[in-house]
Structure formats: structure tokens, C-alpha cells
């Protein structure tokens, strides 16, 4: 199982390079595919394409979680990375509004929908799969390594996007990273094929009804976790560029540097949290976030580059401290016969409706209210809902 776990880390790194590219390239793609809109509206539309995932991501989570329970998570993960590789590479065949008109945006939306379908299986299954056969005191450490591999893939995508931003004509080179996705995806697929798990399940998992109360709990908690990620690495880039005098290339360079910080922090925190009870820790981080993030957003227009860096570091730190115990909470909260299905569907719904939509919703809230604190209050509202879910005691059999 150790070799299979390492292969999962590496394949996860390569897969997240593919899934993250679009989000970083939106500031370049938005004016190319939506040239008739003003800059902020074009950004909202560019990020808003992820709304297709409200349909495709839960479907992908349901399909691949069922596959994981019937034939095993390893085989399901091989299928997800195949689909993700092909879909991401297809971006190179897209043409912009100047050549395809509205069909360019339709093609963009379609490919993002397929990405969400395959990505739902990858993200929701792999995080639990690496915990198979893991001792309790090692679970946070294993999770931190899994999340570190995830961040390494995102870092690689961010670095590729930064190179495009710093080029003299970024609108001519946006397809280049998608060519690289064919190499990264094929490498991840090969790694998974080479190292299947060395264990066999002790018993066949029994069929069970969908645990909808559990799905709701996972959706709210994972949604808040994903909001912290999208706020720090996606939304805040454009938000800071619009509200301050800092240029987008400079912010993207900072973004890439802070991904390295995030990667190191994941490894360190995983060791520190080895024996910490996950639920009280999750609640504490939510409370800190609910208070701190709106205040930081409110002061953003008065800050310089150092202040922008400080806010991003704080949000990243909160996100890291939250996502590591979250995976142990999944493992402890749900029984083995419906763990993959419950967490996969819940994570898909939460990450898509709350997390991935935040750059769109946050920018729209700010554009409508012209108040920088309002996107922060939206994050606080999601945090309060997640806190209620974690605090609520459910009757036996409903978790």
C-alpha cells in the first residue's frame, strides 16, 4: 500500500496541474472569449463558467464513488485521470471569440463541464484512498502529504501561468500550458498503473442508501475549505489588482511564491496536528476566519504590496490548518459502507456551489455594492453555516 500511496501522491500532483490551469489563466482568457464586456464583467463571466460544474461535478462524484465502492478506489482513480488528461488537452483546439464567436465560449464551458465531471472523482476519492490502512496517529501526516502533492500540482500550474503573464503578448501563448497537460496527465496515469495497492479488501462493501444528512454536512464543511483556497489563490489576485495599485503580473508572481509557502506549511502542520482532535480544531479555525477575513478585506484599499502579501499569508494559513483535520473528520464521521459515496457527493456539491463559484460571486458582490468588506462577509456567512453543521448533534444513524 505504501508504493500505491506514493504513486497516488505523484499522480495527484500531475492531475492538479491540469485542473488548476484554467483558473489561473482566466484574466487572460476572459477578454479573449468575452471581448464585448467590460473588464470586471468579463472576469465574472470567465470564472462563472464553472457553474456548469453544479451539474457535472455531483454526477461525476456519484459515478466514481459508486465505481470506487464496487471495483475499488484504485481503478476508479485510473479512470478519472484518463478523462482529465484528454479533456484538458482538448483546450488547445479551442479558438477565441474573434474566430469562433459565441461558440468559443460554448466550447470553453463544455470542456470545463467535463473537467468537473472527472475532477470530482479524483479529488473526493483520492483523499480517502490514501488513508486506507493508515494508523490513527499517522492520518494527519498522510493527509498533509496528499494535500502537499495537490498543492505542488497547483504550484506548477501557477508557475506556468505566471510565465504567460510575464510574456510580452500573453494572449498568443495561453494554449502552451495545455499542451503540457498531455505529458503530466499521461505520466500520472502510468504511475497509477505501475503501482496498484498491495492489499485486498477484507469484505465486499455492502450496498447502502445515500446518506443525505452526511452529504449536507460534508458539503458545508468542504465548501468553506474550498472558499478559503479560492479566496487566497484565485479571487484575491483580481480583487487586489482592482482595489490597489499593484499590477497583475506582480500579484501572480506573489501567488506562485506563496504556493511554495503553502506547500511547506502543509508538510509542517501535518506533523504538528498528529494527535489533535479534529472537530474542535475545525471550529476554532472557522471562528477566527469569520472575524478576521471581513476586517482584512475592508482595509485592503489602504494597503500596499506588503499588506496584500500579509492578507494572503493569513488566509492561506487558515486554509491549511482547516483542510488537514477535515480529511480525518471525514474518516471518523462516516462508516466504511458509505464513506466514499457520502464524502464524494458532499465534496462535489460544496466545492462547486460554494468554493469554485466564489471568485464569480465575490467579484459580483463587490461590483454591485462597491464595498470591499462584502465579499469577506460572504465568506463569514459560509463559515457560520459550516460551524452550525459541525456543532449540530445528529441522531444515531444519520452520520
Q: How far is CA 218 from CA 201, 208, 211, in A?
A: 25, 18, 11
- Taking residue 391's Cβ as centre, other Cβ atoms within 10 Å add up to 10
pLDDT at residue 296 greater than cutoff 90: yes
pLDDT, position 195: 65
Read off φ and ψ for residue 69, nearest 5 degrees.
-75, -30
pLDDT band at 393; cut points 50, 70, 90: low
pLDDT, position 202: 42
pLDDT band at 2; cut points 50, 70, 90: low
Start-to-end C-alpha separation, the chain: 28
pLDDT at residue 20 greater than cutoff 50: yes
User: pLDDT tens for residues 332-350?
Assistant: 888 777 788 888 889 888 9
pLDDT, position 76: 83
Return the domain boundaries, the chain. Answer: 2-196+211-391
Q: Extract the C-alpha cell encoding 187.
A: 505520466
pLDDT, position 207: 54
Does CATH place domain 2-196+211-391 in 1.20.1250.20?
A: yes
Q: What is the mean pLDDT of residues 48-68?
A: 84
- Taking residue 71's Cβ as centre, other Cβ atoms within 10 Å add up to 11
Cα–Cα distance, 181 to 167 (Å, whole number): 20
Q: What is the mean pLDDT of residues 270-287?
A: 87
Tell me if residue 9 falls in helix, strand or coil.
Answer: helix
Q: What is the mean pLDDT of residues 368-392?
A: 95
Look-up of cell digits 465560449 = 105
Judge whether 174 and 24 are in contact, CB under 8 Å.
Answer: no
Q: In the chain, pLDDT over 90 holds for what percent of residues? A: 32
**H helix runs in 34-138, sequence order:** 39-48, 53-71, 73-89, 97-100, 102-129
Burial class of residue 125 (count of CB atoms within 10 Å of its CB; 0-12, 13-18, 19+) = buried
pLDDT, position 139: 74
Q: Extract the C-alpha cell encoding 271.
A: 506533523
Judge whether 157 and 24 are in contact, CB under 8 Å.
Answer: yes
Look-up of cell digits 503501482 = 195
User: Shortest CA distance to 331 belongs to which of 127, 60, 149?
Assistant: 127
Q: What is the mean pLDDT of residues 154-175?
A: 85
Q: Which residues contact residue 163 at a Cβ distance below 8 angstroms, ignoring those fewer than 6 apart? A: none
pLDDT, position 204: 47
Q: In the chain, pLDDT over 70 holds for what percent of residues? A: 92
User: pLDDT tens for residues 86-143?
Assistant: 888 999 999 999 999 999 999 999 998 898 888 877 777 777 777 777 776 677 777 8
pLDDT, position 368: 92
Looking at residue 134, the DSSP 8-state letter turns out to be -
pLDDT, position 21: 85
pLDDT at residue 74 greater than cutoff 80: no
pLDDT, position 396: 42
Look-up of cell digits 468542504 = 222
pLDDT at residue 179 greater than cutoff 60: yes
pLDDT band at 33; cut points 50, 70, 90: very high
pLDDT band at 374; cut points 50, 70, 90: very high
User: 133 in the Ramachandran plot: left (φ > 0), alpha (ψ -120 to 50) or beta?
Assistant: left
pLDDT, position 191: 76
pLDDT, position 228: 95
Looking at residue 51, the DSSP 8-state letter turns out to be G
**185 or 163, greater pLDDT:** 163
Q: Give the dihedral sign, CA 364/365/371/377.
A: negative
Amino acid at each position: 500500500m505504501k508504493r500505491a500511496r506514493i504513486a497516488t501522491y505523484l499522480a495527484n500532483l500531475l492531475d492538479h496541474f491540469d485542473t488548476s490551469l484554467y483558473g489561473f489563466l482566466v484574466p487572460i482568457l476572459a477578454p479573449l472569449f468575452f471581448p464585448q464586456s467590460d473588464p470586471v464583467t468579463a472576469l465574472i463571466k470567465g470564472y462563472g463558467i464553472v457553474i456548469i460544474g453544479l451539474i457535472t461535478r455531483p454526477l461525476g462524484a456519484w459515478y466514481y464513488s459508486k465505481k470506487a465502492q464496487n471495483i475499488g478506489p484504485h481503478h476508479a482513480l485510473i479512470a478519472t485521470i484518463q478523462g482529465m488528461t484528454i479533456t484538458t488537452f482538448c483546450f488547445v483546439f479551442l479558438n477565441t471569440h474573434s474566430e469562433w464567436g459565441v461558440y468559443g465560449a460554448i466550447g470553453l464551458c463544455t470542456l470545463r463541464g467535463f473537467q468537473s465531471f472527472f475532477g470530482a472523482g479524483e479529488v473526493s476519492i483520492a483523499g480517502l484512498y490514501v488513508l486506507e490502512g493508515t494508523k490513527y496517529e499517522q492520518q494527519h501526516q498522510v493527509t498533509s502529504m496528499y494535500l502537499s502533492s495537490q498543492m505542488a500540482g497547483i504550484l506548477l500550474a501557477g508557475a506556468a501561468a505566471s510565465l504567460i503573464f510575464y510574456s510580452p503578448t500573453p494572449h498568443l501563448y495561453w494554449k502552451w500550458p495545455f499542451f503540457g497537460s498531455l505529458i503530466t496527465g499521461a505520466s500520472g496515469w502510468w504511475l497509477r498503473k505501475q503501482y496498484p495497492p498491495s492489499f485486498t479488501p477484507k469484505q465486499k462493501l455492502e450496498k447502502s442508501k445515500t446518506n443525505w444528512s452526511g452529504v449536507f454536512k460534508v458539503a458545508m464543511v468542504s465548501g468553506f475549505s474550498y472558499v478559503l483556497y479560492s479566496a487566497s489563490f484565485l479571487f484575491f489576485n483580481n480583487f487586489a489588482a482592482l482595489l490597489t495599485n499593484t499590477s497583475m503580473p506582480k500579484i501572480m508572481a506573489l501567488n506562485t511564491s506563496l504556493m511554495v509557502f503553502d506547500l511547506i506549511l502543509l508538510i509542517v502542520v501535518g506533523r504538528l496536528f498528529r494527535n489533535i482532535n479534529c472537530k474542535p480544531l475545525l471550529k476554532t479555525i472557522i471562528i477566527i476566519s469569520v472575524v478576521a477575513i471581513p476586517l482584512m478585506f475592508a482595509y485592503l484599499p489602504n494597503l500596499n504590496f506588503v499588506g496584500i502579501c500579509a492578507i494572503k499569508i493569513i488566509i492561506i494559513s487558515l486554509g491549511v490548518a482547516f483542510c488537514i483535520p477535515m480529511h480525518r473528520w471525514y474518516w471518523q464521521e462516516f462508516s466504511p459502507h458509505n464513506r466514499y459515496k457520502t464524502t464524494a457527493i458532499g465534496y462535489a456539491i460544496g466545492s462547486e456551489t460554494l468554493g469554485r463559484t466564489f471568485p464569480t460571486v465575490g467579484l459580483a458582490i463587490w461590483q454591485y455594492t462597491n464595498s470591499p468588506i462584502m465579499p469577506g462577509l460572504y465568506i463569514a456567512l459560509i463559515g457560520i453555516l459550516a460551524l452550525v453543521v459541525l456543532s449540530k448533534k445528529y441522531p444515531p444513524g444519520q452520520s
